[in-house]
Amino acid sequence: MIGFDLTREQKRLVEKARALVREEIIPRALEIDAQGDDRFDWSFAELLAKHNLLCPTIPREYGGLELNHLTTALLLEEIAQGCAGVATVLNTNIHAASPIVLAGTREQKEAFLPLLTSSQPALAAFALTEPSAGSDVGAISSLAEPDGDEYVITGTKDYILNASVASFFTVFACVTPIRNRASLRAFIIPASTPGLTLGRVRNKVGIRYANTSEVLLDGVRVSAYSMVGGNRSGSGYLLLTQTLDRGRALVGAVAVGIAQAAYNLALNHARTRIQFGKPIVKYQAVSFALAEMATKIELARLMTWKACWLIDRDQDHTTASSMAKWYASEVALEAASKAVEILGAGGYMANTLADKYSRDARVLATVEGTNNIQKAIIASLL
Ligand SMILES: Cc1cc2nc3c(=O)[nH]c(=O)nc-3n(C[C@H](O)[C@H](O)[C@H](O)COP(=O)(O)OP(=O)(O)OC[C@H]3O[C@@H](n4cnc5c(N)ncnc54)[C@H](O)[C@@H]3O)c2cc1C
């Protein structure tokens, strides 16, 4: 049997996150969202760093809170209710650190993980996608050529979250000219390494707090000790799938947060907007729409929790994680769209919460593997 009661620590964390969101994030979320990708406002990152929440999965011995995935999902849901861009920045840190936590050497952990747990905010980036390799990671063409005790990495990464503000990058590249999954390896590259530069800033329609840009790798020379997870055939691909399988459940949590925020906005409006002499929530068309939203959000949350629960028990979680990410991202989109409808004309106005939820929700079907890819994963494991 399992229960749904949160522990005292989890409740305390949720309360703390809720207060931070209410008092510090919501009042400035729209203003910062409007600034777009061109510049990064460190204030939210500073706020999270002050509470050691910028990468809460990091083990205690490296200064982190060592939150398990379920507790991290609770935190991400709360933060995403205030601003999905902020939740994405923190999720990207978790994602970039995950290969190091899973398979890094003690030296790698000591060198990089404490950066993300310091009260001085620091961010990291996860660089997998390339212009010709999106869903198809087997098409990655970045090459890490061995040269004595070093590797020289050349390639282009695109749509990389946190790129312009990252202290280090977790980069995937192939170690043989025959580029395929077997030759894929993960490297940790400090942002200051010569040859690593930023390309175009990617101006997004949503999650605009999270800065996104191209990363150019031109003869980036790193020590062989920068490789994470060993140098065996397939070791990089294995680490990648382990990271993505965990990350997808956490994208589910961000999606649930957006959906819940959209639902709250719509419910509040429906209770207070009077038409034909009564609140519009009294009309069945509106209340049924809200009932559907509430039910789907609950299901998305339970799927996310279950995927995290399996991850935390080290049980097979690939299918559950893909299902949670796919379903929750669809629910976020649907809830945001319903909220726009229930708010009437006000829901269609630019730079409002309803507008932000719709724009933020749209990306979730694409990141961490598109929803078609989630279906392909689920189908391959039937
Ligand atoms: C805002 C944002 C942030 C991102 N951040 C990062 C980041 O930090 N790091 C990183 O590495 N990447 C990042 N990405 C990239 C993201 O992971 C990719 O966009 C995603 O994997 C899809 O790749 P693609 O865009 O090239 O689409 P494509 O792979 O070209 O897919 C296009 C369409 O074809 C479909 N498709 C493709 N192959 C199949 C198939 N076999 N079966 C069925 N349908 C298929 C897809 O579902 C999709 O609908 C980010 C993307 C965005 C938009």
Q: Is the CB of 161 under 6 A from ligand 1?
A: yes
User: Which domain does 276 fall in, by range?
Assistant: 236-380
Considering the chain, what is the average pLDDT of its residues? Answer: 96
Q: Is the CB of 103 under 6 A from ligand 1?
A: no
Q: What pLDDT, on the 0 to 100 scale, is given for residue 177? A: 87
The arithmetic mean of pLDDT across residues 271-291, rounded, is 98
The beta strand positions in 99-148, using DSSP E, are 123-127, 143-147
The arithmetic mean of pLDDT across residues 334-360, rounded, is 96
Q: Is the CB of 362 under 6 A from ligand 1?
A: no
In a domain, 3, yes or no: no
* 6 DSSP 8-state letter: P
Q: How far apart are CA 13 and CA 26, in angstroms?
A: 18
Same domain, 290 and 337: yes
Q: What is the CATH number of the domain that holds 323?
A: 1.20.140.10
Q: Is the CB of 139 under 6 A from ligand 1?
A: no
- Residues in the chain, how many? 382
Q: Is the CB of 129 under 6 A from ligand 1?
A: yes
Q: How far apart are CA 63 and CA 124, in angstroms?
A: 16
Q: What pLDDT, on the 0 to 100 scale, is given for residue 229? A: 94
Q: What positions carry a catalytic annotation?
A: 368
Chain segment 18-62, per-residue pLDDT in tens = 999 999 999 999 998 888 777 899 999 999 999 999 999 999 999
pLDDT at 2 over 80: no
Q: How far apart are CA 64 and CA 66, in angstroms?
A: 5
Q: What pLDDT, on the 0 to 100 scale, is given for residue 178? A: 84
Same domain, 227 and 132: yes
- Which among 122, 139, 171 is the end of a domain? 122
In a domain, 270, yes or no: yes
Selection from 12, 65, 82 nearest residue 254 by Cα: 82
- Which among 188, 214, 233 is the end of a domain? 233
Confidence of residue 378 (pLDDT cuts 50, 70, 90): very high
Same domain, 262 and 312: yes
Selection from 27, 7, 128, 159 nearest residue 86 by Cα: 27
In a domain, 252, yes or no: yes
Q: How far apart are CA 273 and CA 377, in angstroms?
A: 44
Same domain, 110 and 211: no
Cα of 160 vs centre of ligand 1, distance in Å, is 12
Q: Burial level of 133, CB count in 10 A (0-12/13-18/19+)?
A: buried
Q: Burial level of 351, CB count in 10 A (0-12/13-18/19+)?
A: exposed
In a domain, 73, yes or no: yes
Selection from 99, 204, 221 nearest residue 160 by Cα: 204
Q: What pLDDT, on the 0 to 100 scale, is given for residue 113? A: 98
Cα of 251 vs centre of ligand 1, distance in Å, is 14
Residue 327 structure tokens: 């379903």
Q: Is the CB of 367 under 6 A from ligand 1?
A: yes
Selection from 213, 229, 212 nearest residue 172 by Cα: 229
The beta strand positions in 135-272, using DSSP E, are 143-147, 150-161, 166-174, 184-190, 196-201, 212-223, 227-228
Cα of 58 vs centre of ligand 1, distance in Å, is 27
Ligand 1 atom with the smallest distance to the CA of 92 is 8
pLDDT at 264 over 70: yes
Crossing angle of helices 43-50 and 84-103, rounded to 10°: 50
Same domain, 270 and 336: yes
Ligand 1 atom with the smallest distance to the CA of 212 is 3
Chain segment 190-219, per-residue pLDDT in tens = 999 999 999 999 999 999 999 999 999 999
Q: Which pairing describes strands 278-279 and 274-275: parallel, antiparallel, or unpaired?
A: antiparallel
Pocket test for ligand 1, best of 203, 367, 374, 380 (most atoms within 8 A of CB): 367
Q: What is the CATH number of the domain that holds 133?
A: 2.40.110.10
pLDDT at 345 over 80: yes
Strand partners, 160: 213
Q: What is the count of structural domains for the chain?
A: 3
Same domain, 143 and 91: no
In a domain, 1, yes or no: no
Confidence of residue 338 (pLDDT cuts 50, 70, 90): very high
Same domain, 167 and 286: no
Same domain, 131 and 110: no
Cα of 247 vs centre of ligand 1, distance in Å, is 15
Same domain, 135 and 248: no
In a domain, 254, yes or no: yes
Same domain, 291 and 365: yes
Residue 77 structure tokens: 């849901």
* 25 DSSP 8-state letter: I
Chain segment 223-263, per-residue pLDDT in tens = 999 999 999 999 999 999 999 999 999 999 999 999 999 99
Q: What is the CATH number of the domain that holds 24?
A: 1.10.540.10
Same domain, 246 and 360: yes
Residue 230's alpha-carbon distances to 10, 69, 276, 372, in angstroms, are: 35, 25, 68, 31
In a domain, 2, yes or no: no
Same domain, 229 and 280: no
Residue 35 structure tokens: 């600034």
- Which among 233, 250, 271 is the end of a domain? 233
Chain segment 143-159, per-residue pLDDT in tens = 999 999 999 999 999 99
Crossing angle of helices 353-362 and 84-103, rounded to 10°: 30
Residue 18's alpha-carbon distances to 11, 15, 81, 269, in angstroms, are: 10, 5, 9, 21
Phi, psi for 118 (deg, rounded to 5): -75, 155
